[in-house]
Amino acid sequence: MKFVSWNVNGIRAAVTKDFKQIFADIDADFFCVQETKVQAGQIDLSFPGYTSYWNYAERKGYSGTAIFCRPQPLAESYTLDGQDFKEGRSVALEFDDFYLVTVYTPNIQAELARSAFRQQWDDAFLAYMKKLDSKKPVIICGDFNVARHDIDLKYPDEARGTAGFSDQERLCFERLINAGFTDTFRHLHPDATGIYSWWSYQNFARKRNDGWRIDYFLVSNRIADRVAGAEILTKIKGSDHAPVVLILNT
């Protein structure tokens, strides 16, 4: 099974930058997107053989997530176990043998201004993932808005303590890992350097590969041995993020 996750930074803008062709070329069974920035009815986007599931933020032009998938899910959810943050930040689909969850984690913002909300979100998300994992394996993907280790960004010393690399964010991410999940990219590429999933639009950051790895696929530990591939498609443009890929043996 092939899974893809991509923060498109506006799905309407991505469509003008070859999103449809990229989607077709990647040929995934499950294609998850974050930061769609649309409301219901603002875009007509469909692909033969896929069904789509969208979660829209109440605020226009903000956040939003979606999953396009070939298999039909048993159930779908757009809240964190009933907690609705009104920002369209997650979609969870249940299948016979696993759950698939895509997430766009809130940005803690400059000077950690949104730290209280981020902590509330992280606590709720952790509790929900643990609950799902108690029933069947979970595959989690998306933009987590945090670089995990020094190896996951170009200039860790300069970024330490700032948004995306604060102690709070990193601790919350490790709580998720320690709850029974595997970072699939590091599982297969434990020492790989210079491979990132996000670059600022400023100062030619992508050209200089001044990036951060903040987009992930996590899987329940008990299916980590089924991970056959985990890559970041750094050459694909169309967003300030690159698509992230997971190949899972059936």
Question: Active-site positions?
Answer: 104, 143
Per the structure block, which two tokens stand in for 161? 């303590």
Cβ atoms of residues 52 and 27 within 8 Å: no
How big is the CA angle at 227 (ends 238 and 88), to the nearest 5 degrees? 45
d(Cα 113, Cα 116) in Å, to the nearest integer?
A: 8
DSSP letter (8 states) at residue 71:
S
Cβ atoms of residues 144 and 216 within 8 Å: yes
If one counts every other C-beta atom within 10 angstroms of the C-beta of residue 155, the result is 12
Residues with Cβ within 8 Å of 227's Cβ and at least 6 positions away in sequence, in order, are 182, 184, 187, 188, 219, 246, 247, 248, 249
Rama region for 11: left / alpha / beta (φ>0; ψ in -120 to 50; rest): alpha
Cβ atoms of residues 33 and 65 within 8 Å: yes
Residues with Cβ within 8 Å of 3's Cβ and at least 6 positions away in sequence, in order, are 28, 29, 30, 31, 32, 100, 139, 141, 217, 245, 246, 247, 248
Bridge partners for 218 per DSSP: 140, 183
> Is 115 strand, coil or helix?
helix
